């Protein structure tokens, strides 16, 4: 019998151990599990302060089976660049050096070193698990929190700013590989990481990772919430990069039907599960719809 990509994903070795300290239903751990299965054992992780630094190890227990550096927020992509270059100088050419961090660490505080590494086209991976707030320190708003969402620092909903389009910014850096992914589509994520492994240079993968306590939904609904984000057109799955003198971009199969707005589920389906959107007013709804339209217009200008 021919093996499917799902068989391969299920059978691939595990590098994130069970029994770690993440909350039940944590989207971030699911994302990391699939990413590590695709990267394999020759991997070094670099983690800025985040929930991951906590579920990675609470002394004396460790839940990652790959070498991991815990580093100061802003330094992650710079440190990963140095680790990769040092390994290559020592003759270890085939090690995947990957930054694994949250939206606060990589889209806000560490964005400068991510941008610098992208501009230098360092041969590293940067994975952002996006749970749309600073969760580890008590659900503070980040540049990746969507308009209208309630956090502890936006108790009436985020009023100032949209959601920073970090993956578009990375694409416009002209790096060879940029993709978005979601924990609701594990084989899409797995295949993207495997394809990225064949690319020399800077690779950026932005993963939608719901957080039950931060978004205030039942921890049995993580996958459902992530799937609805794609089905309503809120989170768009795509893959692209700079090749042959131009930026190429492809809409990934799970998102293709939703290019047509009439095929999308109503946005309210995605919002209704989540306490962070409770009391969502018309103004916030319009802002969120405008932001979704902005994203689709950007994608449509390339595809």
Closer to ligand SF4 by Cβ: residue 52 or 295: 52
With b meaning 16 or more CB within 10 Å and e meaning fewer, what string describes 57-77?
eeeeeebbebebbbbebbbbb
d(CA 179, CA 277): 27
Q: Does 131 bind Mg ion (CB under 5 A)?
A: yes
225, interface contact from ligand SF4, Mg ion, ligand TPP, none, CB < 5-8 Å by kind: none
For 215-260, give the secondary structure using H, E and C: HCCCCCCHHHHHHHHHHCCCCCCEEEEEECCEEEEEECHHHHHHHC
In the range 141-200, which residues lie near Mg ion by CB under 5 A? none
**Residue 226 makes contact with ligand SF4 by CB under 6 A:** no
Q: Which does 23 bind (CB under 5 to 8 A by kind): ligand SF4, Mg ion, ligand TPP, none?
A: ligand SF4
Q: Figure out which of the listed residues 27, 102, 147, 157 binds ligand TPP, where binding follows CB under 6 A.
A: 102
Selected from 9, 22, 37, 103, the binder of Mg ion by CB under 5 A is: 103
Q: How many residues bind ligand SF4 (CB under 6 A)?
A: 13
CA gap 236, 255 in Å, rounded: 6
Question: What is the DSSP code string of 58-99?
Answer: ETTEE-BSSEEEEE-GGGHHHHHHHHHHHHHHTT-TTPEEEE
32 binds ligand TPP (CB under 6 A): no
Q: Does 152 bind ligand TPP (CB under 6 A)?
A: no
Check residue 23 for interaction with ligand SF4 (CB under 6 A). yes
Residue 105 DSSP class: I
- Output the smallest distance, CB 23 to ligand SF4, in A: 3
What are the phi and psi torsion angles at 299 (to 5°)? -60, -45
- Exactly one of 25, 27, 104, 241 binds ligand TPP (CB under 6 A); that residue is 104
Give the other-Cβ count within 10 Å of 21's Cβ: 14
The residues of the shown chain that bind ligand TPP, judged by CB under 6 A, are 49-52, 73, 101-105, 131, 134-137, 142
The residues of the shown chain that bind ligand SF4, judged by CB under 6 A, are 22-23, 26, 28, 51, 55, 131, 135-136, 211-214
């Amino acid at each position: 019998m021919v093996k499917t990509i799902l068989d391969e994903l299920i059978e691939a070795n595990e590098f994130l151990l069970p029994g770690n300290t993440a909350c039940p239903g944590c989207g971030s751990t699911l994302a990391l599990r699939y990413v590590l299965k695709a990267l394999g054992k020759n991997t070094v992780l670099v983690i800025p302060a985040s929930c991951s630094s906590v579920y990675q190890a609470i002394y004396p227990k460790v839940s990652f089976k790959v070498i991991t550096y815990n580093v100061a927020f802003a330094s992650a992509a710079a440190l990963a660049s140095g680790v990769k270059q040092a390994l290559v100088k020592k003759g270890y050419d085939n090690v995947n050096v990957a930054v694994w961090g949250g939206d606060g660490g990589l889209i806000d505080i560490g964005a400068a070193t991510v941008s610098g590494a992208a501009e230098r086209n360092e041969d590293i991976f940067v994975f952002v698990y996006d749970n749309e707030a600073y969760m580890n320190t008590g659900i503070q708003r980040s540049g990746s929190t969507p308009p209208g969402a309630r956090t502890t620092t936006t108790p009436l909903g985020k009023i100032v700013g949209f959601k920073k389009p970090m993956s578009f910014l990375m694409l416009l850096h002209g790096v060879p590989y940029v993709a978005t992914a979601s924990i609701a589509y594990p084989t899409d994520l797995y295949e993207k990481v495997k394809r990225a492994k064949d690319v020399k240079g800077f690779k950026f993968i932005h993963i939608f990772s719901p957080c039950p306590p931060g978004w205030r939904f039942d921890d049995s609904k993580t996958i459902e919430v992530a799937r609805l984000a794609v089905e309503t057109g809120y989170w768009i799955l795509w893959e692209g990069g700079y090749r042959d003198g131009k930026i190429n971009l492809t809409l990934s199969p799970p998102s293709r039907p939703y290019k047509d707005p009439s095929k999308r589920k109503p946005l309210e389906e995605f919002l209704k599960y989540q306490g962070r959107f409770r009391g969502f007013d018309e103004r916030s709804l319009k802002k969120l719809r405008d932001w979704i339209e902005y994203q689709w217009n950007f994608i449509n200008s390339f595809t």
